[in-house]
A and B are shown apart, each in its own frame.
Chain A
Amino acid sequence: MTRLTSQILLLWRHRLVRRNIRILGQFLLILAVMVVVYSLLFHYIMLAEGREHSFLTGFYWTLTVMSTLGFGDITFNSDLGRMFSLVVLLSGIALLLVLLPFTFIQFFYAPWMEAQAKARAPRELPASTQGHVILIHYGPMAAALISRLRQYQYDYVLIVPNLDEALQLHDMGLQVMLGDLDNPETYRLARAPQAAMVVTMAPDVVSTNVAFTVREVAPEVPIIATVLDSTSKTVLELAGCNHVLQIGELMGETLARRTIGGDAVTHVIGEVKDLCIAEANATRTPLVGKTLRENQLANLGVSVVGVWERGRFEIAGPDTVIGPSTVLVLAGSRQQLQAYDEEFVIYNVSDAPVILIGAGRVGRATARALEARGIDYRVIDRQPRPQIPPEKFILGNAADEEVLKQAGIEEAPAVLITTHDDDVNIYLTLLLRHMRPQMQIICRSTLERNVSTMHRAGADFVLSSSMMAANMIMNLLKRANVLMVAEGLNIVSMPVPPSLAGKKLAQTSIREETGCRVIAVVEHGKMRVNPDPHLPLPADAQILIIGTVEAEEKFLEKYAKGAKGAVG
């Protein structure tokens, strides 16, 4: 009831609506006057016929005739009376049965419905709105991002150009705003200048126009775009985007990085001044089956900050056991990483190519990333792909055993399934796991909800494009200049928090309590990589910590409330 009252009030406030209702009122007044005049005429014509009826009867007769009910209990006998009856009947049909419903729909019902729709899909946000995220284009990536935004309690609005779509999305529980994507007014009304970020996930050409249009009203707001085509990156940057995420390329790089190919050496994934973060496969090295303490890697100078185990990152401790498919995350200087390579270059060397299923955008990006890493590969696809060197390409169905054999399934250390069809990927994962129980299977998932199904089907590592894009955007949102070294893994630099100043790292339980690790200390511009845990942390120094987004939050909460990190 309150909702209805508020909607009527809202309706009344609108000038056009007020005018419509006035017209409706006038129409009803004319109708009332006609009824009164007909009632009076009824009375006098009846008197002329020698009968007398009350005024109420006249009113009753007029309405029954006008509404075409015509009970027939009171009728005229004279021609004049019958002529009058016809006039009343015809004007009744015209006014009550035709004009009244149309007028009601036109001037009251339709505006009321419209007002109701506007309440669900407004055309503007309140002027006080700020710190919100403006999203363009709804799809799996936006859905994943919205769930993260809710998790971290960020306000957001999804701008939709079409009312039906807007209402549909509103009914799905999303915050929507109606507006044309190429109209600067839309972004002014979405309060873009006060927004924390604008994220466009629309097709590349639409995103270009969006970026341009947003820049017209909000020169400062960070704009993030996701693109499919690598050539669009430059165009989007020219249009004013601060970050352009090439999801296909990033997926390819990440999938290739997780591949246990033919080596055990370090692969640098991020650098901050002298500090390098690298990954190295532990497969077929003497490290397997032992704890980090037993492996004594500290003698090489590097520090194992964490391990990837079936796609999950865990901060490493002295008791972490290295498994046959563990990927180590190492921190150290270039020289320290070289010392590691010298020690491990002889292990896990294999010339057997890895198999790549699917040569679409992600598949081709993966092939390029494997090429860059020096890992040999064979590609299987159902349609000819001239972009892949012919000697590396096998045309056929990856579910066909002969095709898989031709690609070298019996020897391949790993297979990467990169098609965009999650059903196909789950099917192939099950099939390949059955054929080769020990092989590494890396799988792409389009929808986040299929990740766990793929793990259950036997995949060692699953990467969802929507999840990856959402995590990257969240990282950019939370700290504009954090260094993301791997999916969900960050390096953050910050001044030594007062609660840690003067303390020795060995005395703290940062790793146990937060899941973060201090990997470098920067004092007077000089960086100490893997600092001695027995030296006190200087109050005026910077520290670099590594950890997942959640771990980093725990660290900030415990040691540096209110501090903002940045890559130093």
Chain B
Amino acid sequence: MRLTDILKPANIKVSLQADNKTDAIKELVELLAANGDIADSRKVLDAVLERESTRTTGIGNGLAIPHGKCSGTTELVMAIGKTDKPIDFQSIDGRPVSLIWLLSSPPDKTGPHIHALARISRLMTIDKFRQALLQATTAQEMFDIISKQEDAL
């Protein structure tokens, strides 16, 4: 599975306006809805927030991977956002988050959902890749960085 086969440059936002966790997630869900990639943004938002309420998806190193499964989408979809200012995500290392990679899939796509999550988490362990994403200024630039890193995997 290639993440760049699922991710579209249009679903990458280099400058999220939100200054808190819930708003940042909402902004990314709305971006997916605006691009017509999800059928029901309410359901997707509820699913992601519900998952977030059980335990944080802030995995440390300034990253968060909020995700949820629901019938609000028919395909596995994803969106990425960079925050202007780091926001609190109750991350496991206590550090605020500047990069958010959101993921949602229909309930019957557990396998690909887990697979995509694993791949994102793995990519994010690469320091240089993380730094490059944080320094990118356009959505296309971020998309290219991800694509290049996936080639190297």
**Residue B125 CB within 8 A of the other chain:** yes
A341 to B113, CA, bound (A): 10
> By the criterion CB–CB under 8 Å, are A338 and B114 in contact?
yes
Given the known inter-chain contacts A284-B60, A296-B54, please indicate yes or no for A347 contacting B92, CB distance below 8 A.
yes
* Chain B residues near A286 (CB-CB < 8 A): 55-56, 92
Complex Cα distance, B117 from A73, in Å, reads: 114
Interface string of B10-51 (1 = CB under 8 A from A): 000000000000000000000000000000000000000001
Question: Which of B60, B92, B110 sits near A342, CB closer than 8 Å?
Answer: B110
Cβ-based interface call for B76 (8 A): no
How does the 8 Å CB contact mask read for B102-133 relative to A, with 1 for contact and 0 for none? 00000000110110011011101110000000
Within the complex, which residue of A299, A339, A342, A345 is in contact with B121, where a contact is CB–CB below 8 Å? A345
| Complex Cα–Cα for A296 and B111 (A) | 23
Report the bound CA distance from A288 to B55 in whole Å: 12
Flag A479-508 by CB within 8 Å of B: 1 or 0 each. 000000000000000000000000000000
How far in angstroms is the closest Cβ of chain B from A80?
115
- Hey, which chain A residues are within 8 Å of B113, CB to CB? 342
Assembled-state Cα–Cα distance A341/B59 (Å): 15
Q: Which chain A residue shows the least CB distance to B118? A: A345
Considering residues B110, B114, B120, which has the most beta carbons from chain A within 10 angstroms of its beta carbon?
Answer: B114
Known interface pairs A284-B92, A338-B110; A347-B125 also in contact (CB < 8 Å): no
Contact B54 A346 (CB under 8 A): no
Query: When the two chains form their complex, are residues B92 and A285 in contact, meaning their CB atoms are under 8 A apart?
Result: yes
B60 touches A351 (CB 8 A): no
Pairwise interchain contact B59-A345, C-beta atoms closer than 8 A? no
Chain A residue nearest in CB terms to B125? A351
Interface size class of B (residues with CB under 8 A): 20 to 34
For the complex, what is the distance from the CA of A345 to the CA of B51, rounded to whole Å? 13
Other-chain residue from B57, B69, B111, B126 in contact with A346 (beta carbon distance below 8 A)? B57
- Contact present for B54 and A343 (CB under 8 Å): yes
Is B100 located at the chain interface by the 8 A CB criterion? no
Smallest CB gap from A350: residue in B: B125
Query: Which residues of chain B come closer than 8 Å to A347, judged between CB atoms?
Result: 59, 92, 121
State how many angstroms separate the Cβ of B68 from the closest Cβ of chain A. 10
Contact with A along B41-84 (1 / 0, CB 8 A): 00000000001001111011000010101000000000000000
A342 to B57, CA, bound (A): 11
A-B contact count (CB 8 A): 51
A349 at the interface (CB under 8 A from B): yes
Within the complex, the shortest CB–CB distance from A263 to chain B, in Å, comes to 8
B114 near A349 (CB under 8 angstroms)? no
Q: Do the beta carbons of B121 and A349 come within 8 Å of each other?
A: yes
Q: Are B92 and A345 in contact, CB atoms less than 8 angstroms apart?
A: no
Q: Give the residues in chain B near A338, CB-CB below 8 Å.
A: 110-111, 114
Q: Which A98-141 residues have C-beta < 8 A from chain B?
A: none
Assuming the contacts A284-B92, A338-B114, asked whether A349 and B59 have C-beta atoms less than 8 A apart, the reply is yes
Residues of A within 8 A of B120 (CB): 346
A339 contacts across to B, CB distance below 8 A = 110
In whole angstroms, how far apart are the Cα atoms of A284 and B61 in the complex? 12
A342–B125 CB distance below 8 A: no
Query: Complex Cα distance A346/B51, Å?
Result: 13
A342 touches B122 (CB 8 A): no
A471 to B142, CA, bound (A): 55
> Which residue, B67, B92, B113, has most C-beta atoms of chain A within 10 A?
B92
Name the B residues within 8 Å of A342 (CB-CB): 69, 110, 113-114, 117
For residue B91, which residue of chain A has the nearest CB?
A: A286
Cα A296 to Cα B60 with chains together (Å): 22
Q: In the complex, what distance in Å separates the CA atom of A351 from the CA atom of B126?
A: 8
Residues of B within 8 A of A296 (CB): 54
Q: Does the CB pair A343–B55 fall under 8 Å?
A: yes
Q: Which of A284, A345, A349 contacts B124 (CB 8 A)?
A: A349
- Known contacts A286-B56, A286-B92, A299-B54; decide if A346 and B117 are in contact (CB<8 Å): yes
Give bound CA distance, A455 to B106, whole Å: 48
Inside 8 A of A349's CB, which chain B residues have their CB?
Answer: 59, 118, 121-122, 124-125
For residue B126, which residues in chain A have a CB less than 8 angstroms away from its CB? 351
Contacts A286-B55, A345-B117 supplied; 7 other A-B pairs, CB < 8 Å: A263-B118, A284-B92, A285-B92, A296-B54, A346-B67, A349-B118, A349-B125
6 contacting pairs across A/B (C-beta < 8 A): A262-B125, A287-B55, A299-B54, A343-B51, A346-B117, A346-B118
Binding site for A on B (CB under 8 A): 51, 54-57, 59-60, 65, 67, 69, 92, 110-111, 113-114, 117-118, 120-122, 124-126
